[in-house]
Structure 1
Amino acid sequence: MQFSHEINYIFLDYDGTIIENAEEEFLRNYFSLLSKKLDSTFDETLRLVMSSVQDAVANQDRMNLFEKFGEAISARSGKSKEYWIDKFLEFYNTDFDQLRQITQPNKEFVNVVNKTNKSLIFASNPLFPRIATYKRIQFAGLNPEMFYYVAHMENSTYAKPNPLFFKEIIEKLKLHPAECVMIGDSDFDKACEKVGIKFIHISEEEKWREIF
């Protein structure tokens, strides 16, 4: 596999890449725990949170996704943004840890990631706040400190598959797209190609081993 520049920065997806769990499996367990925390039904919680996430992602204002989500869920529920921030942070500090039990790291991939001297960029869809994102990294057997940059709700304006998600990161870090590669498992991740970042599917083991 030939690249025009040396690859120095590796963008990594999470669900289906760093971990073997499909995103749907994680979300099913996530909403089961969250609905109990909120004393609400699974369906009500799923509907409120996912519609608020969709509102936040569709909002093209320059606010970060955490602020957009807070405004969206407040508008949809009639409860204050502060109420929801407190509820979610309490959840992420406590019950969220139970999700470690169902997390299945992609062991071979994680071993390679742990040994690399390349600069790593955590580029999972930034739909969790920093506290939850850091915990998810730890659930997989990685250390948040090993990443050159970790995308999360508080430092992201856009979400995948919007290519502006990738553009924002390379502009913020002053990277050249040709020295970057994205490893993921979906067309959401492949949107990186629209800003000049090469994409490797997690199933293409020979290619990503060569990059590392």
Structure 2
Amino acid sequence: MVKAVLFDLDGTLLQLETQEFMKIYFKEVANVAAPLVQPQRFTDALLESTYQMIHDRNPQRTNSDVFWADFTERLSDCIDNLTPLIENFYAEKFRNLSWLAKPSESAREVVQAVLDKGAKIVLATNPLFPRSAITDRMAWAGIEDLPWEIVTSYEDMHFCKPYLEYYDEIASRLKLAPQECLMVGNDVGKDIVAGSLGFKTYLVTDYVIDNDQSDLKPDWAGKLDELAVWMKETDIFK
């Protein structure tokens, strides 16, 4: 019996083209930092520190700890003045990227269907961003006010997708076995990989990402509006 459903955000509940979004995001945040650091140097540091955060698997360090330690070392000559600019970007300007997203009424319908079944909901986005940037994107999708059990952000998670430790950490916090959880996402390598730990998986195909990982098969698949119907009719919660 499924007792919790984990939802990916970008490309799943929030309809957007991830590569296009990241390209414009990098440009905007680099522009904010431009008075202190050349944009290419800033972007290179941001990408390298994000890479370190994704692949660090030390359970004693949060993703935020890993990112900022590496980022500070790379931009040590200007980090003290740069940090407030970045924090202000996330607090005041990140939300202006909402034009890149396409909210869908089905997103809220899907999540509400899970709640109506009596199951817990988890916003299982890859925790590479601060909580404020995730909350903004949840607002774009029209789901920020729902009673999320966990929202994974870089402040409180210790692992990232695609590593199975990310999913194990969520299951542990829920006090559930992996077999009692369903992962819903659009990325085969980062979301459907949860099946390797024992999670049930549903691949949302509107903005599917599949880098030819034929060894990873979802238990179910369909478009977001089809998922809304499926959630209401499925017996996996019984």
Please indicate the TM-score interval, normalised by the length of the shorter structure.
0.7 to 0.9
Q: Distance in 2 between matches of 1:42 and 1:104?
A: 28
1:193 is matched with 195
Q: Which structure: greater helix fraction?
A: 1
Provide the C-alpha distance between the structure 2 equivalents of 1:19 and 1:210, rounded to a whole number of angstroms.
18
Q: TM-score, normalised by structure 2?
A: 0.79
Residue 168 of structure 1 corresponds to which residue in structure 2?
169
The CA distance in 2 between the partners of 1:114 and 1:79, in whole Å, is 48
Question: Helix, strand or coil: the match of 1:201?
Answer: strand
Q: Decide whether the 8 Å contact of 2:61 with 2:158 is kept in 1.
A: yes
Matched, 1:59 2:56: yes
Partner amino acid, structure 1, of 2:48: S
**Contact 1:134–1:144 (Cα < 8 Å) also in 2:** no
How much does 1:177 deviate?
1.5
**2:179/2:200 contact within 8 Å kept:** yes
Quick check: 139-148 or 153-162, which moved more? 139-148
Q: 1:76 to 1:154 in 2, by over 3 A?
A: same
Q: How does 1:1-212 map to 2 (within 5 A)?
A: 5=1, 7-39=2-34, 42-61=39-58, 62-79=60-77, 83-117=81-115, 118-186=119-187, 187-203=189-205, 204-205=221-222, 206=226, 209-212=229-232
| 1:29 shift after superposition | 1.8
- Check whether the contact 2:5–2:122 (CA below 8 A) recurs between aligned residues: yes
Could you tell me how far apart the structure 1 residues matched to 2:227 and 2:91 are?
A: 38
Percent identity of paired positions between Structure 1 and Structure 2: 23
For residue 25 of structure 2, what is the amino acid of its counterpart? Y
Judge conservation of contact 1:70–1:84 (CA < 8 Å) in 2: no
Q: Which runs of 5+ in 2 are unaligned?
A: 206-220, 233-238
Q: What secondary structure, in the 3-state scheme, does the structure 2 residue paired with 1:10 have?
A: strand
Superposition TM-score, scaled by structure 1 size: 0.88
